[in-house]
Chain A
């Protein structure tokens, strides 16, 4: 949040409420005039569905709630709903997201603007209900827009923004809003919500189908939806003669999403006074930093807290929170960290047999530069392992040592694991 401009809706006109991250998401979905919610319970997402069911039971929404029998069906049902022209929402975590996997690719390839909240949780086995990003990283190649939030306020704000991003005529792709399981999903925070009508206005009311296509057999341009007046076939067989070309607009739309995320972040700022960096990255103290740590999600707060202390002690450190993970903001990230001597890349997931996922992206972002900072990958917090400031401080101290020595001896470190 930065000062300066007076928002259209000043804080005193916003609705202050103590909610946890899951409830914040449920309220955001309610305020976004969602037509269909199909969801299945799984910790730590369950509160979202529970809360939303209450809105339905109390007649506060027009939404059709579909209490599906699995997450595979949840994703399938929102695909069906969105194809029929509805604004559709679902939420899950961990095993549920893994079960959705097959349909994630179909949702994006059918160019359906679905919003999915993921309360990030470790994957089995062993079964574990606590936070890490393994679930989200399993869908990084699925052509979804993936946003990671830092706190409950941002969970509310981003869920609303997600609908605007997804439905943008130049994007038309599904958006996943990731909030750290328990750390955010279950932690009460005082946040500001908008009066509902303001959210309606921000989104332009109910979903309008914006995708249009020219259809030979109809002899005209029609909206891309299941429409008895304009019969279209969704999801045909598409072989080697067309499939590849059909991926091109999808690739371009996902690239375009980055600009739209930035624009929506600014629009939100004008409306509410809140923004999150430039929308895709949220940088702190990077301009003159020798050492920068990159991070996704709620851990950014802890890292910034430690960085502030180090700054006071005279160490030039910075923090780069990556808010938009897919499409990866290569340019923005490279520009933010290229001046540093050492960069620590924190990943709350591991691509087994390789590095943490964001390390690979950041390596690619830096590779084209003549001079690059040294890079160390810190895989941390798997299965919800706590990340106290002392641990983050130890990481910074190691990075200082790397800077002094001028070389990386161990590019992949497991932070906080017992020996």
Chain B
């Protein structure tokens, strides 16, 4: 970031009090690399090939100026702040697992009160809450719903690696059907998780907040633009990002981004945004698929590179794959019906 570019060896993002910050969105990769930097500095201990720091990097490209991050307990939090080190180049708060949204609500309220009483040395400070799927679909859902209902000006970023990874790959409300996890093991009679994935982004749409979007690191420019929109709206926004985890999904670390591409190409994880008052819009690859359905890949393309679905590729489980395909298709068809820009 040109203005916030730190003049220090640690490359912190330092925002001088009293200065006005304008940070135009850059989507040219070379210019981006020159002008912007991640709010997450090297040296963290997330696994090699983890998509979570990529998500944060894309988020960093979108920030407008002074920004405070509130992080739920989980892989991202644990592996980036092992005392006495921190990888965070912006002010960062971790309180607990289930309360990123409520702790962020407090931060946002504090900023408002400081501003009202003339004690905020900035024009504006953005507040971003980041949580994993466990901290968002499950234990932190109430706090998230409360944050949305109260209308705090917070962008909530969900990095969804589809299980409780930090505690060792346990199922969550974000785990897809038939996925292996350590608490939905593939046994002799039960083939992995037997329940659905909670439609969390749609649930956030139902809160009638100004902006909701899905994103994938593989479609990075789409993601950056969505992060920016989420920051720009007044009030809550929610960005659901698919975040591959090679430990939990069981794939080669070189495939981290490829897996999140296949998630979109198979319509397992369609890319869309919802603007209050305007409706759902398909974006990027998903819009292309809607226009040209033959681009849509079969779900096997997503499954075949991941060990957590290995059992599904056995001949005796063909029926399960069919079921999963039907499930994906149903969700996709439903989205096509709702999307304002889907061809009719």
A228 at the interface (CB under 8 A from B): yes
B70 at interface by CB-CB < 8 Å: yes
Identify which of residues 261-279 in chain B touch chain A, using a CB-to-CB cut-off of 8 Å. Answer: none
A106 touches B10 (CB 8 A): no
Within the complex, what minimum Cβ distance (angstroms) separates A215 from chain B? Answer: 10
Find out whether the CB atom of B117 lies under 8 angstroms from the CB atom of A81.
no
* A83: Cβ under 8 A from any B Cβ: yes
Q: Is A282 an interface residue (CB 8 A)?
A: no
**A79 CB–B CB distance under 8 Å:** yes
Interface status of B332 (Cβ within 8 A of chain A): no
Residues of chain A within 8 A of B149, CB atoms compared: 69
The count of chain A contact residues (Cβ–Cβ below 8 Å) is 49
In the assembly, what is the distance between CA of A235 and CA of B83, in Å?
9
A229 touches B105 (CB 8 A): no
**Beta-carbon contacts under 8 Å, A104-120 to B:** 106, 110
Report the bound CA distance from A72 to B103 in whole Å.
Answer: 10
The answer on a CB contact under 8 Å between B14 and A229 is: yes
In this assembly, does B251 line the interface, its C-beta being within 8 Å of a C-beta of chain A?
Answer: no
Looking at A142-150, A189-197, A237-245, A271-279, the stretch in contact with chain B turns out to be A237-245
What's the Cα separation between A236 and B8 when bound, in Å? 22
Interface segment, B94-102, B185-193, B217-225, B226-234? B94-102
For B10, the chain A residues whose CB sits under 8 A away are 217
Whole-angstrom CA separation of A355 from B122 in the bound complex = 54
**Chain A residues closer than 8 Å to B89, beta-carbon distance:** 231
Contacts of A38 in B (CB 8 A): 102, 105-106, 109
Q: Is the CB of A231 within 8 A of B14?
A: yes
A239 to B108, CA, bound (A): 30
Report if A80-B81 is in contact (Cβ < 8 Å); known contacts: A70-B142, A236-B86.
Answer: no
Which of A63, A218, A226 interacts with B113 by CB under 8 Å? A63
Contact across chains for A227 and B91 when beta carbons are under 8 A apart: yes
Which of A84-92, A252-260, A340-348, A401-409 participates in binding chain B? A84-92
Interface residue? A132 (CB, 8 A):
no
Chain B interface secondary structure, helix, strand, loop or mixed? mixed
The contact size tier of chain B is: 35 or more
Q: Is the CB of B112 within 8 A of A64?
A: yes
- A103 interfacial by beta-carbon distance below 8 Å: yes
Of B68, B93, B105, the residue contacting A73 (CB under 8 A) is B105
Question: Do the beta carbons of B96 and A106 come within 8 Å of each other?
Answer: yes
A102 adjacent to chain B (CB < 8 Å): yes
Contact of A226 among B16, B68, B109, B142 (CB under 8 A): B68
**A13 → chain B, closest Cβ, in Å?**
26
Contact A228 B90 (CB under 8 A): yes
* Cα-based distance from A235 to B110 in the complex (angstroms): 18
Bound: A100/B316 CA distance, A: 50
A77-B109 contact given A228-B66, A236-B83, A237-B81, CB 8 Å threshold: yes
> Contacts A228-B66, A233-B86, A238-B83 known; A62 to B78 CB distance under 8 Å?
no
Q: CB distance A231 to B143 under 8 Å?
A: no
In the complex, A391 has a CB within 8 A of chain B: no
CB distance A35 to B107 under 8 Å? no
| A residues apposed to B, CB below 8 Å | 35-36, 38, 62-64, 66-70, 72-74, 76-86, 88, 102-103, 106, 110, 206, 217-219, 226-239, 242
**The 8 A-B residue pairs with the shortest CB-CB distance in the complex, in nearest-first order:** A80-B106, A69-B146, A77-B106, A236-B81, A228-B66, A73-B102, A86-B110, A84-B110
* 12 A–B contacts from the bound complex (CB under 8 Å): A66-B109, A68-B105, A69-B142, A70-B142, A76-B105, A79-B106, A106-B96, A228-B65, A229-B17, A231-B14, A236-B86, A242-B83
Using a CB–CB cutoff of 8 Å, the interface residues on chain B facing chain A are 8, 10, 12-17, 65-68, 70, 77-78, 81-84, 86, 88-96, 98-99, 101-114, 116-117, 119, 121-122, 125, 142-143, 145-146, 149-150
